A and B are shown apart, each in its own frame.
Chain A
Amino acid sequence: MNPSSAHLARPALSRRTFLRGVGVTLSLPFLEAMTPIFAKATEAAATPRRFVAIQTTQGIMPHLFFPETGGRDYQLSPYLQQLEALRNDFTVFSGVSHPGVDGGHANERSFLTAAPHPGGAGFRNTVSLDQIIAEKMGNQTRIPSLALRVGGGGESSMSYTRAGVMIPGERSVAALYQQLFIQGSAQQIEARVNDLKSGRSLLDSVRARATRLGNTIGAADRARLDQYLTSIREFEQQLHQAEAWEHKPKPAVKMPEPKDITETAFLPAKLRAMFDLIRLALETDSTRVVTVFVEPLGILSAIDGVQHETHSLTHHGNRPEMIEELQKIEIAQFQMFREFLEKMRGAGESGVPLLDHTAVLYGTCIGNANGHTNKNWPLLLAGGGFKHGQHLAFDKNQNQPIANLYVSLLQRLGLEADKFASSTGTMRGLEMAVR
């Protein structure tokens, strides 16, 4: 972060409305996305299943997170005590990580992809778990998936397309609210639809041009151009879907339109605002797939007793006073997470708590930020229809691949999957619950 930039509000960028309508994120392969747009919503189970992944990038101090013993009767660690009331709604893991995924902070890119050596020279990312889920289920909701971010500057998210391109993260709750719940006047809808149409006609033109260009270039060039053509086609499907949704009424919600918090120091408040909106998006079935990239680095948190910028705190060098400050920040984050889970448990459809059908993954890819290690991730899974209330402890030296958990998640979502990246099976010890 540029130290001088933190306080300066950038001029608002005018965003085109039709692009707004497309959704904050998505990368759908065109085939599945094109199958009847609304039909499936009714076919699918009465209560759809959903997925939320939250990654906090600065690490979570391991000695305050991991319980000392495994099993069902484990003792809550200081951090997990924040979630005491939800004890039977989550499973905490230890001894898990992505094998072969190293490189300190670079690792955050592989959180949902498991692509090896993200710090390496020739690193290329692969598709993230949420995008795989969105490919299968995204066509059933207005927004196929949301890639969100909370914290410092930048555009990073943890969602990656099939080509390994990062989907820029949305940080504005106000913009999201607009997109999800504000219908606008007939005139505005018309304008958006027209914009979508003009976007599609533009794509027609550039496709025609690319096709002609393709006839004049060699095979190696054509392979790169094909990627362009494929991307055009995918985006066209997205516009098409967005247009169809444009005519459907948006859900009415009680929550008033939120204002964006621009002050970087208020991380907890920003988290709460984002979590509230996510809950609302899930509750109204506006989307079923959400990732939240939380970046507290570069922020001097406005929390009592915190005097240092968060990144420098994570490199605490074992100084107790720094550890104490960092603990305050991490506890504040856990408190916001608890609120989120509690509200998710309170909300629901047809008598089933929202949390029971929403798998919420929470963790960090940094086992110990002080040493920047990438093994033994602090990680927990809440809700989503699993038998929780336990600590699944694996070998600290021979970690269990997290990709196994991803396979379990895919299966629980009702998607056919027996493999994800480095997986060796499903997550041992994690069983599905009845509902």
Chain B
Amino acid sequence: MNHLLILPILLPAVVGALLVLAARHDGVLARTFAVASTVLLLAIAVALLVLASDGQVRSYALGAWPAPFGIVLALDRLAALMLVLNAVLGLGVLLYAIGGWDQRGKHFHPLFQFELMGINGAFLTGDFFNLFVFFEILLIASYGLMVHGGGGLRVKAGVQYVVTNLVGSSVFLIAVGMIYNVTGTLNMADLARIVPQVPAADQALLQTGAVLLLVFAVKAALVPLHFWLPGTYANAPGPVAALFAIMTKVGAYSILRLYVLAFGADAGAAAWLAAPWLLPAGLLTLVLGMTGVLAARSLGQMASFAVIGSMGMLLATVAVFTPQATSAALYYLIHSTLAAGALFLVADLVAERRGAQRDRFAAAPRIAQGGLVGGLFFVAAIAMTGMPPLSGFIGKLLVLDGVRASAHAAWFWALILTTSLIAIVGFARAGSFVFWKPHALPAAPASAYRPDGALSFVAVGGLLACLVLLTVFAGPVHAWLELVAAQLYAPAGYIDAVLGTAQGVR
């Protein structure tokens, strides 16, 4: 067994606990440890990515209990990709938070590490119930991060967020119970082996459980389960909202992982159960999210709706369930995570500089460093709306191309192109209101705002630079993502790697 597999979970867990115990009152020490841990996490994730690139699936039996009985972690290309994405976004957000947000409340850094741990765990685990546990870890940390810094409105939005997710967790547990009841296993690979053999009498129970698993869509903010997202993200601290950009993707990852593995082509009567629900819901989410961009009343709200829209496109593309569409969806997933993160950080840069108006679309005097912040917003907006030359454009092209074989291709083309136009109008309106309109107002007295250090700009610029890299290396990245999708759609390798441990083959 390769012990590198457990490090993405172990490292943030240990560092997070150390930060609570030892660095509670020492801001510098906490920052140093948090950054060191996240950089190390990125290095480990990249090492795992290199390891997984050979196409072999690796499993790690916790406590050396053999596979269907013990809990396993499994690393394939998709999991490694998500780990790297999480570490990159985490590092960018952490650097931004060090600009001042982390000192506005207690325990930012430990919660941040636990959040990374939960997300990494959800990507790595090969066990169903363990997935629930890691979901809860990342949610508990996110509850703390969500209300970081306090304030009545934020706490109230936090209550909504917690309640929504608790109900979601209950439904998830019911689904797990139903599937366990029929199949007698919680191991995902074992589940994939048993699902085709489920007798017809038990199919109703199994399929109800499988459809209930769409509760992952609560995390992915799929219509009609999206109502929590705008309130939460728009009221969360800027850097936290940026980190939450990957949490919606955890939902999408779980849907992709579980439905392709266990309820995919080999599943007999239960094959592709999710598709008829997921596809229309995804397209509806796309329309609703991008329309919301037009109706938003603040930059944060606008970014939230853009996230909903991009999740809709992502999930609809995933719901086509073909390797071509999935590789396009994965490219768009990387892009939209980084772009949404950058956009939330820019919204926070604006909000910090506008005093009482925060990031609302209301008349406010010119902001400090307006040119630079406006430029960053412009780049992030181009990325988010999917205009050339950035990776959003390439992502949308790949999606349009990937779904051509689908029976619903016309819907995809019409809705994606129309909503892109709507989003462009929305973002153009927001940008001109926030950055150009103030020039018509009389110059304000010098604001009390002291421009903070270069670190915030380094963080935003770093995330945007990743998008530029993603654009420049779109060819090789997409070729690699095709390998990811190919591995995903050949679940035999995954099943053998995980269950092989039981037979002592390894």
Q: Do these two chains interact? A: no
Interface residues, chain A, with chain B CB atoms under 8 Å away: none
Interface residues, chain B, with chain A CB atoms under 8 Å away: none
